[in-house]
Amino acid sequence: MNNVILIGFMGSGKSSVGKLLADKLQCKFIDMDDEIEIGEKKSINEIFDEYGEDHFREIETSYLEKLLTKKNKVIATGGGVILKEENISILQRIGTVIFLHTKYEALLKNLEGDTNRPLLQKDNAEQVIKNLLNKREPIYFNAASMIIQTGEKTIEEITNEIIGLL
């Protein structure tokens, strides 16, 4: 099986869908943020705090490169992975890129009270989400070869929809 790569904004369900999808496809699940935290022995928050976003992005690319040799995996990426063109071409080489498209209002709901995402630890988090989403949404659409509207669907429904398309 070609690797399956999930991209999308923070809170779009990449990790939850990825885990269930891997389960159903009987293959291994890789969560890029988890890989980075384990490999660097630091939380994403700590990496951002200690070294800043630019350094995190460099680390992110180096972990992405490690995936070039993988096969038969479901991979959930961090929401900002598409910010570098270099990353997008790696993702497209690795496997089938699927965009989980979630609308702003649903993202707000999913991300409410979040403390794990450094970019959102601000008083104006709603505005930050809006700005990031405006900037990133066209990039997700362009990078993906499949698009899933997550809407009101359950994790199970989204997962089954992906399986139907693969």
> Given the rule CB under 6 A, which residues bind ligand S3P?
10, 14, 33, 44, 78-80, 117-119
CA distance 138 to 82: 10
CA distance 34 to 106: 24
CB of 79 or CB of 95, closer to ligand S3P: 79
| Residue 114 C-beta: closest distance to ligand S3P, Å | 8
CB of 72 or CB of 118, closer to ligand S3P: 118
| Residue 11 C-beta: closest distance to ligand S3P, Å | 7
Tokens matching residue 110:
């999913």
| Residue 36 C-beta: closest distance to ligand S3P, Å | 8
| Residue 164 C-beta: closest distance to ligand S3P, Å | 24
Tokens matching residue 150:
């997550």
DSSP string, 63-98: HHHGGGG--SEEEEPPTTGGGSHHHHHHHHHHEEEE
CB of 84 or CB of 164, closer to ligand S3P: 84
